[in-house]
A = this chain, B = another copy of it.
């Protein structure tokens, strides 16, 4: 999946995020994220690489089964399939990025951008969609569970030792928590983040 083929994917081309590398270091310590976890994520990336479509089928199925979630992709009460498809490509790229990209300034900046795209600030803009004007905050944090729990079977599927699967899974869990913290910045009252 070459990035240039994904409409609206602007990694490396967005403004600076409003949190510093120093703050991010403290945040990493708080979720116990170490250099080892970065390595486990790389390994997870190799294992998930050719399973991205299946993972997205599962996650999209989960959203599709819940009207209170599907509404964020819906227009006039009906799922907007071109919006769903456009986001799906970037969602697939995110799986690669979470596992493969260094957590540097570019990564930090794009997390802020994705946060804005879930928030009222930028939702719908990238794909010229006319769905709900924001994803409600509660579900952003709630998704930590399904996005973490469902990945384990995919990590386990290639016959790696249970201990390594568990280590990769813990690294994924930490990375998803970091991600959601950063993405929810736009929802939080001034000075309280």
Report which A residues bind B (CB closer than 8 A).
23, 26-27, 29-32, 66, 68-69, 119-120, 134, 136-139, 141-146, 148-149, 170, 173-174, 177-178, 180-181, 184, 187-189, 192-193
Contacts and interface: CB of A to CB of B under 8 A. Distances in A.
Contact of A69 (B30, B68, B142, B177): B30
Contacts of A178: 142
Given A142-B30, A146-B30, A173-B145, A136 B181 contact: no
B145 A174 contact: yes
Nearest to A146: B32
Chain multiplicity (copies): 2
B181 A138 contact: yes
Dominant secondary structure at the A interface? helix
Contact of A141 (B146, B170, B177): B177
Given A120-B192, A138-B193, A149-B173, 11 more contacts: A27-B142, A30-B142, A31-B142, A137-B184, A138-B181, A141-B177, A141-B180, A142-B178, A142-B181, A144-B144, A187-B188
